[in-house]
Amino acid sequence: QKVSLTGIKPTGEPHLGNYIGAIRPALEMASSYESIYFIADYHALTSVRDRASLAGWTRSVGATWVALGLDPKQTIFYRQSDVPEIFELTWVLSCVTGKGLMNRAHAYKAARDRNAEAGIADLDAGINMGLFNYPVLMAVDILIMNADVVPVGQDQVQHLEIAADVAGSFNHLFGDVYALKIPEAVTPPGDTGRVLPGLDGRKMSKSYGNTIPLFAPEARLRKLVRSIKSDSTPVEEPKAPDTSAAFQLYENFATPGDVADMRRRLEAGGTGWGELKNALFEAINTRLTPLRERYEELMVPGSELDTILADGAEQARDRARPVLAGVRRAIGIDAL
Ligand code: TYM
Domain-wise residue ranges, the chain: 3-196+302-331, 215-294
CA of 112 to the centre of ligand 1 (A): 21
Report percent pLDDT > 70 for the chain.
98
Residue 76 host element (H or E): strand 75-79
Ligand 1, atom 9: nearest CA belongs to which residue?
18
Residue 77 host element (H or E): strand 75-79
The topology under which CATH files domain 215-294 is Tyrosyl-Transfer RNA Synthetase (1.10.240)
Ligand 1, atom 31: nearest CA belongs to which residue?
138
CA of 6 to the centre of ligand 1 (A): 8
Give tens-digit pLDDT for 272-284: 999 999 999 999 9
Q: Which atom of ligand 1 lies closest to the CA of 5? A: 34
Contact 315, 283 (CB under 8 A): no
CA of 287 to the centre of ligand 1 (A): 22
Q: Kindly list the protein residues whose Cβ atom lies closer than 6 A to any atom of ligand 1.
A: 6-9, 17-18, 20-22, 40, 43, 138, 141-142, 150, 152-153, 155-156, 159, 195-196, 203-205
Ligand 1, atom 4: nearest CA belongs to which residue?
8
CA of 22 to the centre of ligand 1 (A): 7
pLDDT at 188: 86
Q: Which atom of ligand 1 lies closest to the CA of 11? A: 2
CA distance 312 to 321: 14
Q: Which atom of ligand 1 lies closest to the CA of 204? A: 15
DSSP state of 128: -
Q: Is the dihedral of CA 135, 141, 143, 148 positive or negative?
A: negative
* Residue of 100, 85, 81, 111 lying closest to 165 (CA atoms): 100
CA of 42 to the centre of ligand 1 (A): 14
CA distance 272 to 275: 5
Q: Which atom of ligand 1 lies closest to the CA of 154? A: 20
CA of 271 to the centre of ligand 1 (A): 34
Q: Which atom of ligand 1 lies closest to the CA of 9? A: 2
Give tens-digit pLDDT for 87-113: 999 999 999 999 999 999 999 999 999
CA of 40 to the centre of ligand 1 (A): 10
CA of 155 to the centre of ligand 1 (A): 7
Q: Out of 5, 57, 156, give the residue to mutate to test ligand 1, the one with the largest number of ligand atoms within 8 Å of its CB.
A: 156
Query: Under CATH, which number does the domain 3-196+302-331 receive?
Result: 3.40.50.620
Spatial CB neighbours of 236, under 8 Å, sequence gap ≥ 6 = 269, 270
User: What is the ipTM, given to two decimal places?
Assistant: 0.99
Exposed, middle or buried, 130 (CB in 10 Å: 0-12/13-18/19+)?
Answer: middle
Q: What is the pLDDT along the chain (336 residues), one digit of tens a residue?
A: 999 999 999 999 999 999 999 999 999 999 999 999 999 999 999 999 999 999 999 999 999 999 999 999 999 999 999 999 999 999 999 999 999 999 999 999 999 999 999 999 999 999 999 999 999 999 999 999 999 999 999 999 999 999 999 999 999 999 999 999 999 999 988 665 678 999 999 999 998 999 999 999 999 999 999 999 999 999 999 999 999 999 999 999 999 999 999 999 999 999 999 999 999 999 999 999 999 999 999 999 999 999 999 999 999 999 999 999 999 999 999 866
Strand partners, 36: 5, 76
CA distance 65 to 38: 9
DSSP state of 8: E
